Amino acid sequence: MAQHDLILLGPPGAGKGTHAEYLKTDMNYMHLSTGDLLRVAVAAQNNLGKQAQTYMEAGELVPDDLVIDLVAERMEQLGSDEYYLLDGFPRTIVQAEALAEILEGIGREQPLVINLAVSDAEVVRRLSGRRMCPGCGTIYNVHRDGLDIGDNCPQCGGELYQRSDDQPEAIRNRLEVYKQDSALLIEYYRQRGQLVTVDAEQGQEEVSAELAQLARRGRLY
């Protein structure tokens, strides 16, 4: 069972979504992925989706105010007996400060922040091979699972597709964008004693085991 609120930081392809899925299912976390919420808004072509689409397809960050509103709305609905797992948020210092304020406002402690560290070469390899199921959201990889675009999802039968931002140019841009903001963000959480780094270049099972241990152990300070 979940015992501590968590943030997963890391470059695109670090495994945030993959491991969040495990922590949600096995440890009962409330998984909040800003990328997933934004993709739903884009698919629905609602007001937020129309504003976010161009940024996302280019691999740029969606403006802070839009994403902060989205997260604030979800956090305010959080039950006192629920633990959350933030995936893809915060991505800037402005977002980190807004989150700290939201948490203070709802009387929650500051979360443990897990930095999933992985090399650029591995990011490119993973993202170019990533395949998604539109039905159940399961994340696959051509290199590991041998499943490709158009194949059926073994879990639910959905037809696998490739995310539009997993094209080479968008991947390169996302990595650049990540590097611009991440050093400051990592330093922000290090100074507050909230940060722990995990070697996410390891296999999925090894990373999962480390994350589960951290989630159970809870606070670092």
172 assigned to active site: no
- d(C-alpha 120, C-alpha 133), whole Å: 25
Q: Which residue in 32, 42, 53, 91 binds ligand AP5 (CB under 6 A)?
A: 91
Inter-residue contact 23 to 85 (CB < 8 Å): yes
Sign for the CA dihedral angle at 10, 34, 216, 137 comes to negative
118, 209 in Cβ contact below 8 A? no
> Of 85, 77, 69, nearest to 26 (Cα)?
85
Q: Is 61 in the site for ligand AP5 (CB under 6 A)?
A: yes
The reply on whether position 59 binds ligand AP5 by CB under 6 A is yes
Which segments of 62-142 are extended strands (E)?
Answer: 84-87, 112-117, 130-132, 139-141
Using the rule CB under 6 A, is 117 a contact of ligand AP5?
Answer: no
55 interacts with ligand AP5 by CB under 6 A? yes
111 binds ligand AP5 (CB under 6 A): no
Q: E strands of 54-176, at which residues?
A: 84-87, 112-117, 130-132, 139-141
Smaller CB separation from ligand AP5, 65 or 187: 65
Binding mask 140-179 for ligand AP5 (x = CB under 6 A): -x--x--------------------x--------x-----
Shortest gap between Cβ of 214 and ligand AP5 (angstroms)?
15
Q: Is 17 in the site for ligand AP5 (CB under 6 A)?
A: yes
Rounded to 10 degrees, the C-alpha dihedral 56/114/77/156 comes to 60
Asked if 138 is part of the footprint of ligand AP5 (rule: CB under 6 A), the reply reads: no
Q: From the CB of 26, what's the least distance to ligand AP5, in Å?
A: 16
- 139 lies in the site for ligand AP5, by CB under 6 A: yes
User: Which pairing describes strands 195-199 and 6-9: parallel, antiparallel, or unpaired?
Assistant: unpaired
70 binds ligand AP5 (CB under 6 A): no
Q: Which is nearer to ligand AP5, 176 or 187 (CB)?
A: 176
> In whole angstroms, how large is the CA radius of gyration of the chain?
17
Q: How far apart are CA 29 and CA 134, in angstroms?
A: 22
Active-site residue numbers?
Answer: 16, 91, 130, 163, 174
Chain residues binding ligand AP5 by CB under 6 A are 10, 12-18, 34-35, 38, 55-56, 59-62, 67, 88-89, 91, 95, 126, 129-130, 139, 141, 144, 165, 174, 200, 203-204, 207
